[in-house]
Structure 1
Amino acid sequence: MYGHAAFAVSFLFLGLYFFVIPFVYYLIDRKSLRKYPQLSIWSGISDVPFMLEAQKGFRSQKLAELHKEHPVIRIGPNSLSYGTHRAIKDIYGHNTRCTKDIMYDVLSGSHFHLADVVDKVDHQRKRKILSSAYAVKNLEDWEYKVADMTNRMVKAFDTRCTEPLESGRPVEKEDLTIDFWMWANYFAVAAIANIGLSEDLGFLEQGSDLVTSEAPGGAIKKAHFKECLSATAWAQSNLVWSYDWYKSLVKISKLSSVYRKKWKLNADWDGIVLNRATTRLKRYQNGEKLDDFFSALMHDKSGRPHNLEWGEIVAEISIMMNAGSDTTAIAMTNVLYHLLKNPDCLAKLRQEIDDVFDDGSVAPYDRVRNLPYLRACLDESLRITPPNTFGLPRRTPSEGAQILNDWVAGDTSVSMSAWVAHRDEEVFAEPERYIPERWLSESGKDLQQYFVAFSAGARGCIGRNITYLEQYVLLATLVHHFEFALPSPDWQPARRELFTCSPGPMPLKVWKRST
């Protein structure tokens, strides 16, 4: 009898906590958010609808459909999504009063890194330390590292070339000798490890991303880099949207075998980062003078130490290995896909590249960095399929903020997905078409202010110069040396949105190009 009574009381308490009280707050509407259209009829009282949308795997596409009719959508009790270019400056611009959302605090480890630090003063300190590492001058000094990885990629593809595809013949399954998504990851991870830590992971020779993972106690094991990174993003991006309940949801999710596996891989990911950090630290302590990102973390150009805590150094290495590889691999896969689907664009790009290519196996950065059509092809791919799709959430200041000429109450989460922003027809005509030429016209420069693939304002991506360097050199080299074919003319990638939007496996037939 007491058991039934206890169950009834618990059921009543849960009903009050999760439904009645939120519904009362919804009716009171102290922040005046009820006036906005909602993602779901339940979005005003719960974050669950947005979490369910995240589970489906492409929440930004759903938002893009809704934003065709509504510039602002309520996606949670305290969250608004924006869908017009006019909101970019208000939310992300240099003069915005919005700060990083508490989501970044929820997901951070023991120490913040540059991408998740919320405090503006601390962000300025970090950016000052790291700006020299990401400066264009440093990138030019590190070009040889990108060229080396590109040359290894060419060699790997040389061994996997097939006979040229005869006109009118379909691609045979046995001729699909490379998964470009996989190889783009090998390249991007190997390149950033070399640039950042002077470490040669050997992925492009191995044809594998097997790497050492180190537990806090020192035990080591082998783990697959991409599998661990994707598992981390999968679990976090499904659950994080209910900030107050995130830590509890993580514990509850471990009752599921699927989530248990993901969180185990998440621990392996932390171990991969730790091993990269400890391996590089030992070389530093042994007196090796290496010009890389790690050195910039340890001291400035004149040798004055930054005296960062070890946890902060590990955090910065984590975001470098994460964002510094994943987004580049996605961007490279997407741009090759778009070029193969638009052969006229590919032919035009090849003509531009062939005109500046010398006899070497790798495209020289100084010859391709200023090619207008190459940059246009890259930017158009970043527009139509931005790697970082999730709506980088910001928080209005306590006194509130003006967004789209509308006053939004303080401490409200506001965001805009790059996938949505780049489909605003007021700015980008025929947004679903791949049209590199739009960036070359007289109005091309005007489009840049609405191009948010790297976010915008003071919190814009500090690593954009690195990814452009890698993409310039690798794309120019590959399209100069090789021909590629998709499995079929109507083939499309299976995209899955976590925080980034992965195109997934892209099997290709490859053969040597006659130049």
Structure 2
Amino acid sequence: MLGYFFSVVTAAAAFGYLVLVPLINYFRDPKGLRKYPTLSILSGISDLPFIYEAHKGFRSQTLLNAHKKHPVIRIGPNSLSFSKKEAIKDIYGHNTKCIKDTMYDVLAGTHYHLADVVDRPEHARKRKMLSSAYAIKNLEGWEHKVADVTSRLIKSFDDRCTEPLAAGDLPSPEDQTVDYRMWTNLFTVCAIANIGLSEDLGFLERGDDLVTSEGPDGTLKQVHFRECLHATAWAQSNLVWSYKWFETLVRISKLVSPTYRRKWGLNKDWDGIVRNRATTRFKRFQAGEKLNDFFSALLFDKYGGPNDLEWGEMVAEVSIMMNAGSDTTAIAMNNVMYLLLKNPRCLQNLREEIDGTLDEDEVVAPYDKVKHLPYLRACLDESMRLFPPTTFGLPRKTPPEGAAVVEEYIPGNTTVSISSYVAHRDADVFPDSEMYNPDRWMGEEGKNLQPFFIAFSAGARGCIGRNISYLEQMVLLASLLHRYEFALPHPEWEPTRRENFNLSPGPMPLKVWRRKCIEEA
């Protein structure tokens, strides 16, 4: 009898805490957020509807549809999504009063890295420490590393070339020898491992992403890099939107879902990949090797003095470098090739620009030759406009006293965001926004669009790695289009896409063959 009584009391308490309290707060409306339209009927009461949207796999598209009717949408009890271009400056600009949201605290490990650190002075310290490593002058000095990785990818593509496709024919399945999504991801992981850690992972020679993962006790095993990274993003991005309940939801998901148990296991393997990259590089330092890479910026300042960082902070910085430094650029590379193949006129214009710059016998495009090609840059930016690698609204939090967003006062400690996928489809800024049109970025009109281009975010917290991303994208795309022809499986073919934190496309099988003029050269 006593057990029954306690069960009833526990159930009543849970019902009150999970249902009644949120309902009371909704009707009390202490922040005045009830005036905003909601993403779903329950979004003002609970974060669970947004978690549901996350599981569906493309929440930014749902947001875009909602924002066609309303400039501000309430996506959670304490969270607002914006769509107007003015919100970019107010939320992310250099002089914004908004700070990084609680989400970054929730997902942080024992130590913060540059992308998740919330404290502004601490962020300034980290950015100062790493800015010299990411500076353009250093990137151009490391161009040879990108060129080396490019030459390795080209060798693998040469081995997979097929006979030219006859006009009007479709490629046979056996001739679709290149999964461009996979190969460009192998490329970016190898590139950032080389640039960041002076490590040769050998992915491009083997055609796989097997890598060593190291447990906390030092045990080693072989795992797949992409599978571990994407599983981590899938699991975290599904559940993180309820900050208070995230850890509880993680525990429940492990209990009730075999899929989640597997994903969280792969998350541990991802931590092991990062751990092994860091320990491997540090052992080389201890052995006396003097290497020119990003890791050196963690060890020493620009004057050669020791930074004396805690080991956990160094591992955290390696983690974000291997994550953000590989996946987003690979997604951008995949998308621009897809869009060019779907838009032959744009492909022809770009190829003419590249061929007019490179010698016929140049295999790897020198960065110095292609870095200022206007149409090449326009094709890349238009691709990242249409499909930003990181689509979700990077959440920020208003200061305790509140702040104005699009000339409207938003109460303190409220989560605010604007999705790049939504912002890049603002018809007032980007007419015919669903059309792939690189010409919009040309000349002065193109320069005027840059403040509204947030594929790399904006302001002081903008992506520190944008220069290395452009370096890799320009060199690889110019090299491949100069040397090869590509064909999609059929003209109407489209990739699958799933939004975690990034909008990740699925496999993209291509037929590849050597261009006739290049073969003759």
- The interval holding the TM-score normalised by the smaller chain is over 0.9
Identity %: 66
Q: Distance in 2 between matches of 1:92 and 1:292?
A: 30
Structure 1 residues 88-128: Cα deviation after superposition (integer angstroms, max 9, x where no partner): 11100001000000100000000000000000000000000
Q: Which amino acid aligns with 1:320?
A: M
- Give the Å deviation of 1:243: 0.3
Q: Distance in 2 between matches of 1:166 and 1:360?
A: 26
Q: Distance in 2 between matches of 1:326 and 1:202?
A: 17
Q: Distance in 2 between matches of 1:45 and 1:274?
A: 40
Q: Which amino acid aligns with 2:283?
A: K
SS at match of 2:55: helix
Aligned to 2:318: 317
Structure 1 residues 219-249: Cα deviation after superposition (integer angstroms, max 9, x where no partner): 0000000000000000000000000011111
Counterparts of 1:112-191 in structure 2, within 5 Å, are 112-191=112-191
Q: Distance in 2 between matches of 1:427 and 1:182?
A: 33
Q: Distance in 2 between matches of 1:301 and 1:69?
A: 51
Q: Distance in 2 between matches of 1:283 and 1:173?
A: 45
Counterparts of 1:286-297 in structure 2, within 5 Å, are 286-297=287-298
Given the alignment of the two structures, is residue 249 of structure 1 paired with residue 227 of structure 2, yes or no?
no
Aligned to 1:29: 29
Counterparts of 1:84-95 in structure 2, within 5 Å, are 84-95=84-95
Counterparts of 1:186-197 in structure 2, within 5 Å, are 186-197=186-197
1:503 counterpart (491, 500, 505): 505
Given the alignment of the two structures, is residue 336 of structure 1 paired with residue 317 of structure 2, yes or no?
no
Given the alignment of the two structures, is residue 371 of structure 1 paired with residue 403 of structure 2, yes or no?
no
Q: Distance in 2 between matches of 1:360 and 1:338?
A: 25
Q: Distance in 1 between matches of 2:86 and 2:443?
A: 22
Structure 1 residues 171-206: Cα deviation after superposition (integer angstroms, max 9, x where no partner): 211111111000011000000000000000000001
Q: Distance in 2 between matches of 1:170 and 1:196?
A: 41
Q: CA RMSD in A?
A: 0.8
Q: Which amino acid aligns with 1:296?
A: A
- Give the Å deviation of 1:360: 2.3
- Give the Å deviation of 1:2: 3.7
Q: Distance in 1 between matches of 2:219 and 2:48?
A: 38
Q: Distance in 2 between matches of 1:170 and 1:270?
A: 43
- TM-score, normalization by structure 2: 0.98
Structure 1 residues 327-385: Cα deviation after superposition (integer angstroms, max 9, x where no partner): 01000000000000000000000000001112221001000000000000000000000
Q: Distance in 2 between matches of 1:278 and 1:360?
A: 38
Aligned to 2:280: 279
Structure 1 residues 67-103: Cα deviation after superposition (integer angstroms, max 9, x where no partner): 1111100000000001111111110000100000010
Q: Which amino acid aligns with 2:84?
A: T
Counterparts of 1:48-63 in structure 2, within 5 Å, are 48-63=48-63
Aligned to 2:419: 417
- Give the Å deviation of 1:19: 1.1
- Give the Å deviation of 1:292: 0.3
Structure 2 residue runs of 5 or longer lacking an equivalent are none
Q: Distance in 2 between matches of 1:283 and 1:72?
A: 52
- Give the Å deviation of 1:416: 0.8
Q: Distance in 2 between matches of 1:100 and 1:300?
A: 26
2:455 counterpart (436, 453, 474): 453
SS at match of 1:442: helix
SS at match of 1:443: helix
Structure 1 residues 240-296: Cα deviation after superposition (integer angstroms, max 9, x where no partner): 000001111111110111111001100000000000000000111111111000011
Q: Distance in 1 between matches of 2:339 and 2:15?
A: 50
SS at match of 1:189: helix
Q: Distance in 2 between matches of 1:281 and 1:441?
A: 46
SS at match of 1:13: helix
- Give the Å deviation of 1:441: 4.0
Aligned to 2:357: 356
SS at match of 2:489: coil
- Give the Å deviation of 1:303: 1.1
Q: Which amino acid aligns with 1:270?
A: D
- TM-score, normalization by structure 1: 0.99
- Give the Å deviation of 1:3: 4.0
Structure 1 residues 422-446: Cα deviation after superposition (integer angstroms, max 9, x where no partner): 0011100001000000000431111
Count of aligned pairs:
515
SS at match of 1:312: helix
Poorly superposed stretches of 4+, deviation over 6 Å: none
- Give the Å deviation of 1:10: 2.3
Q: Distance in 1 between matches of 2:179 and 2:13?
A: 52
Structure 1 residues 114-143: Cα deviation after superposition (integer angstroms, max 9, x where no partner): 000000000000000000000001101100
1:469 counterpart (442, 446, 471): 471
SS at match of 1:105: helix
SS at match of 2:326: helix
SS at match of 1:34: helix
Q: Distance in 1 between matches of 2:392 and 2:352?
A: 35
Aligned to 2:80: 80
Aligned to 2:480: 478
SS at match of 1:230: helix
Q: Which amino acid aligns with 1:390?
A: F
- Give the Å deviation of 1:307: 0.8
SS at match of 1:484: strand
- Give the Å deviation of 1:62: 0.5
Q: Distance in 1 between matches of 2:177 and 2:398?
A: 50
- Give the Å deviation of 1:300: 1.9
Q: Distance in 2 between matches of 1:208 and 1:461?
A: 28
Structure 1 residues 151-175: Cα deviation after superposition (integer angstroms, max 9, x where no partner): 0111000010111111111221111
Q: Distance in 2 between matches of 1:31 and 1:377?
A: 44
Counterparts of 1:1-20 in structure 2, within 5 Å, are 1-20=1-20
Q: Which amino acid aligns with 2:192?
A: I
Range that drifts further, 159-168 or 49-58: 159-168
